[in-house]
Amino acid sequence: MTIQSTIDKLIEMRLTSMADAFITQKDDPKMKDLAFEDRLGMLVDIEYNNRRSNSLKRLIRQAGFDQPEAYIGDIDYVSGRKLNRELIQRLGTCEYITDHRNIFITGATGSGKTYMACALGMEACKQRYKTQYVRLPDLLMELEMARDNGSYVKVQKKYANPLLLIIDEWLLLKPTETEQHDILELLHHRRKKSSTIFCSQYEFSGWYDQLGGDDSPLAEAILDRIKYDAYKINIVPIDPANNRSMREVYGMDPRLSE
């Protein structure tokens, strides 16, 4: 068997990183002093690490984060916001996903809700949890279009299956009765087998009214599927009169959504 034949077979099996590393080893005189087991281990490590890196990039790309540069280590704790550092760092371990618990992140526009949610989503991707980000208005519009073209079940599964779903702009606008049915169906399928991060300008106490309150037969049913054992992060300024937008703190374009 020729060396080129081995390289061709590695490429055919899509072990391209191993093939490139094998060529590098072949041309490096220092490698001749290493034992076969050591050289083979180096080749396997290179292929393994490259595949894990590509897998992470794919998970992040498919998640569709609004802020893919978000990093939990860059969350700002000194810019005038009341934040529970210990809780956020604990959530960064993704323990809540294992326990199938939800997270409510609430605060005013510019308080950094989306950044925090995306940072937690990035940590989930690093631990190989399938993650999906979506704005609630976009989700509801997608479901409405799916209902018309016959792909409703497929779209529901798209958002029901990820182990972590981030719903931004949660209840920014009051949903219609049909939209409430869509929300209830989605949350029902995710209940007790996955985790959802809800980002909202309204504190949890205001969600019932946003869902129609006593006039809506579905309001309590929706909240019942998400409120138990949820972690709550309410972002409020220490000094409201001198509060700075987190878009400014993070150096983001103020024209972009939060």
Per-residue pLDDT of the chain (258 residues; tens, 9 = 90+): 578 888 877 787 787 887 887 788 878 887 877 888 888 888 888 888 788 888 899 999 999 999 999 999 999 888 778 899 999 999 999 999 999 999 999 999 989 999 999 999 999 999 999 999 999 999 999 999 999 999 999 999 999 999 999 999 999 999 999 999 999 999 999 999 999 999 999 999 999 999 999 999 999 999 999 998 899 999 988 765 555 555 555 555 544 444
Q: What is the pLDDT of residue 33?
A: 79
Written as one letter, the residue type at 70 is A
Residue reference for tokens 């949350």 = 187
Q: Which contiguous run of DSSP H or E holds residue 20?
A: helix 16-26
Q: What is the pLDDT of residue 258?
A: 45
Residue pair 107/113 in contact (Cβ under 8 Å)? The answer is yes
Q: What is the pLDDT of residue 256?
A: 47
Residues ≥6 apart with Cβ < 8 Å to 187: 196, 222, 225, 226
Q: What is the pLDDT of residue 197?
A: 98
Question: For the chain, where do the domains classified as CATH 3.40.50.300 start and end?
Answer: 64-249
Q: What is the pLDDT of residue 147?
A: 94
165: closest CA among 229, 225, 227, 120?
120
Burial class, 16, CB count within 10 angstroms (exposed 0-12 / middle 13-18 / buried 19+): middle
Give the CATH superfamily of 64-249.
P-loop containing nucleotide triphosphate hydrolases (3.40.50.300)
pTM above 0.95, yes or no: no
Other CB atoms within a 10 A radius of the CB of residue 191 amount to: 16
Residue pair 21/46 in contact (Cβ under 8 Å)? The answer is yes
Q: What is the pLDDT of residue 117?
A: 98
* Distance set, CA 208 to CA 11, 32, 102, 127, 222 (Å): 57, 70, 17, 34, 9
Q: Which contiguous run of DSSP H or E holds residue 132?
A: strand 131-135
Q: What is the pLDDT of residue 244?
A: 55
Instruction: Tally the C-alpha atoms within 13 A of residue 240's C-alpha that lie toward its C-beta.
Output: 4
Residue reference for tokens 């605060």 = 107
